[in-house]
Amino acid sequence: IAAGENQTLALKADGSLVAWGFPPDTPIGFKGLTGIAAGMGHNVALRSDGTVAQWGDEFYRPIPIPWGLRNVIAVFEGRFQSFAIRKIVDSAATKPITVSPKRVSVSASLPVGRKYQLESSFDGQKWIPIGAEFYASDPIREWELDATGSGSRVKMIDRGPVIGLGYYDPYPRSEFWKRPAAAGRRDIVSIAAGPDHNLAVTAAGRVIAWGWNYNGQAEVPANLTDVKMVAGGLEHSLALKNDGTVVAWGGNSPREVPYGLKNVAAIAAGTFHSLALKTDGSVISWGDNSFGQLSVPELKGRVVAFGGGASHSVLLLNDGTVRAIGDNRVGQTDVPEGLGGLVAIAVGSYHTLGLRPDGEVVAWGYNGWGATNVPPGLRAVSIAAGGDYSAALTKEGTIVSWGQGRFRETDLRSEIADIVQIAGGVRHLLVLQKPPPLQAAARAVVAGGRLTRVEVTNPGYGYLQSPSVAISGGGGQGAEVHAAVVDGIIQRVNVKHPGEGYQAEPNLLIASPGGLPSVRTDLNMIQVVLPIHEIGEYQLEASSDFINWVQGSIPFEAAVGQYACDLSVGQDIRLFRLKRLR
């Protein structure tokens, strides 16, 4: 038997499997099993032939089973990972191999403030990571490696412009958790963080939501468009449309937008209450009022910004002073006497930050974890307040944070660059960056031997001027095109001259926008010697982990004896084998 997070497995004497609990989608017809293991939402089974099968909820399932995994004698499960013990068998991969590694110098020119991964390859197609992902803090980075391979590259890690720092522990039942939807997108223009879920607005006015979803707070209405601002409470979300109306979804009371509410200029959400600032300067509030957090005084025409905490509200007036209402059990509404001259505020669960024109940050409220202990001399251009922590964006473009940070929401990297906005959740911090550069791509269309038009298949990003476009192949000559840039992307490619004699579509290569990593490798040579025991056709393969094997040579005929080859080095691969093709 095996017990997982929410499921139980039983292996019968005849090699069949019985399972119950969550996840319920146990494969039918499993026979000939010799071992089982259960993890968090995923399971693994060992077949009698030494191969492995896995199944379960896709969110918790580990990466795919390594290709070619055989000769397994036992399996084990962790929370998010699987383990297999293999029996070492006599094969070409285990026969004596001699490798003479050399030191290789790799240097890369990198735009700072972005995340990268050093990789290497034998064939330019299968790339294997070397070391951990890293942020570039200097424009030039160098490595010294004992390496083998034929080439190296530094890949920019582009998971989209939104970076999340802090708590990440989804509920095992996936229907209560909405997976991240902002990854890889380049069209996000603003963000908002609820206590445990996130919202983002795209350039097209659509809303993306992810995170906790147990009350529908991350289920964006399908017909919601033309949005310019979002806000998140504990169990509800708000969206402000360009026409001045407000849409809400999620939990009950805070989502009940007052009938006829219009002409809204800004919105804010507390844990269980909501606020709207109208264009005439009046504030409308709704939701929970257990501590008087909705009792906004008559300040029509004077409020310029506001925010909602766990059970209090804070208003910034046009004279730079602050009014705070609601729960004051831990001093969250005790505004410092004489406080004024503020231009912005950020409201956390139980504390508040204020920003002065010169960048000075002031704070008040609950300080049990140091959330109001502003670092001396700090000068900021933007601020964010979370549960027990605070954060500020400096004019140099770095983030400074302070407070408890037990969920690592204050575990920041000063190298993160091109920051547009920060937003604080209770246990996490969101950072919105300008998206990194991306090289554009296009396809040529030929008719009657002439290049008639160009289709942009990928508009790229980060172009400051029109890039060059190289045309090759297709059997013709003389074609010329021009790429038009709008807001950093290739909007279209115009045909300046169609050329002649094209029998097929030529290849188009649009130049890089700049700001992309470039790598220089000082290649050395190593010699690999492997024994051959039978006449046949072979191919050299290499690996760093005995699992992922990449091609190291073209197929070749060999007689009994030794095979020796010289390879240019570029990666730390120490494992070699000869794969017999026939």
Which tens digit of pLDDT belongs to each residue from 330-343? 999 999 999 999 99
Report the b/e string of 39-52 with b at 16+ CB within 10 A.
bbbbbbbbbeebeb
Task: Produce one character per residue of 361-400: b if its CB has 16 or more CB atoms within 10 Å, e if not.
Answer: bbbbbbbebebbebeeeeebebbbbbbbbbbbbbeeebbb
Higher-confidence residue: 513 or 200? 200
Distances (CA, A) of 496 to 312, 411, 456, 475, 478: 63, 52, 16, 19, 10
pLDDT at 498: 94
State the pLDDT at residue 412: 56
Q: What is the pLDDT of residue 570?
A: 43
Q: Which of 320-324, 368-372, 456-460 has the lowest mean pLDDT?
A: 456-460
pLDDT for the residue 68? 67
pLDDT at 573 over 60: no
3-state secondary structure of 291: coil
192 φ/ψ angles, rounded to the nearest 5 degrees: -150, 145
pLDDT, mean over the chain: 81
- Torsions phi, psi for 329 (to 5 deg): -65, -25
For residue 558, give both structure tokens: 């060999």
Check residue 494 and give its pLDDT.
Answer: 95
For 154-210, the pLDDT digits (tens) are: 666 666 667 776 655 544 444 455 666 666 677 788 999 999 899 999 888 999 998
When pLDDT is cut at 50, 70 and 90, the band that residue 488 belongs to is confident
Rounded Cα–Cα distance for residues 391 and 424 (Å): 8
Assign 300 a pLDDT band (cuts: 50, 70, 90). Answer: confident
Contact 60, 172 (CB under 8 A): yes
- Both tokens of 534, joined, read 């039978």
Is the model's pLDDT at 139 over the cut of 90? Answer: no
Kindly state the average pLDDT of the residues 311-319. Answer: 95
Average pLDDT over residues 229-257: 90
Peptide bond preceding 111 in cis form (omega within 30 of 0): no
* Amino acid at position 213, single letter: N
Residue 577 pairs in a beta bridge with: 541
The pLDDT-based confidence of 497 (bands split at 50, 70, 90) is: very high
- Would you say residue 230 has pLDDT above 80? yes
% of the chain surpassing 70 pLDDT: 74
Mean pLDDT value of segment 292-302: 91
Cα–Cα distance, 289 to 283 (Å, whole number): 15
pTM over 0.75: no
- pLDDT class of 523 with cuts at 50, 70, 90: very low
Grade residue 146 by pLDDT with cuts at 50, 70 and 90: low
User: How confident is the model at residue 42, as a pLDDT?
Assistant: 84
- In this prediction, residue 59 carries a pLDDT of 56
d(CA 551, CA 543): 9
In 3D space, the residue among 290, 394, 398, 410 whose CA is nearest the CA of residue 348 turns out to be 410
Question: Which pLDDT score, from 0 to 100, does residue 548 have?
Answer: 65
Please give the sequence-ordered ranges of beta strands (E in DSSP) within 434-488, or none if there are none: 441-447, 450-458, 469-472, 477-486
Token digits for 145?
């490696």
Report, as an integer, the average pLDDT of 363-380: 94
pLDDT > 60? residue 237? yes
Beta strands in 100-235 (DSSP E): 102-109, 115-121, 127-135, 140-147, 151-156, 162-166, 177-178, 188-193, 197-202, 207-212, 227-232
Least confident segment among 209-218, 273-282, 337-346, 559-568: 559-568
Least confidently predicted of 86-95, 365-374, 380-389, 398-407 = 86-95
Task: Residue 208: name the closest of 180, 246, 245 by CA.
Answer: 180
Choice among 65-79, 298-312, 484-498, 520-534 with the minimum mean pLDDT:
520-534
CA–CA dist 366, 92 (Å, integer):
66
E strand intervals along 221-350: 227-232, 236-241, 246-250, 264-269, 273-278, 283-287, 303-308, 312-317, 322-326, 344-347
At 19, the pLDDT band (50, 70, 90 cuts) reads: confident
- Which DSSP string corresponds to 353-408? EEE-TTS-EEEEE--TTSTT-PPTT--EEEEEE-SSEEEEEETTS-EEEEE--TTS
Q: In the prediction, which pLDDT does 435 show?
A: 75
What's the pLDDT score for residue 544? Answer: 57
- The average pLDDT across 487-516 equals 88
- Nearest 5°: phi and psi at 94? -110, 0
Could you write out the DSSP letters of every residue in 109-136?
Answer: E--TTSEEEEEEESSSSSEEEEEEEEE-
Amino acid identity at 132? A
Query: What pLDDT, on a 0 to 100 scale, did the predictor assign at position 301?
Result: 86
Question: Is the pLDDT confidence value at 443 over 70?
Answer: yes
- What mean pLDDT do residues 362-383 have? 94
pLDDT of residue 223: 93
pLDDT at position 379 over 90: yes
Average pLDDT over residues 394-411: 73
Q: Which of 111-115, 222-226, 334-338 has the lowest mean pLDDT?
A: 111-115
Asked if the model's pLDDT at residue 276 lies above 50, the reply is: yes
CA angle, 537 as apex, 49 and 571 as ends, to 5°? 80
End-to-end CA, the chain: 43
CA distance 362 to 374: 7
Mean of the pLDDT values across residues 42-54? Answer: 88
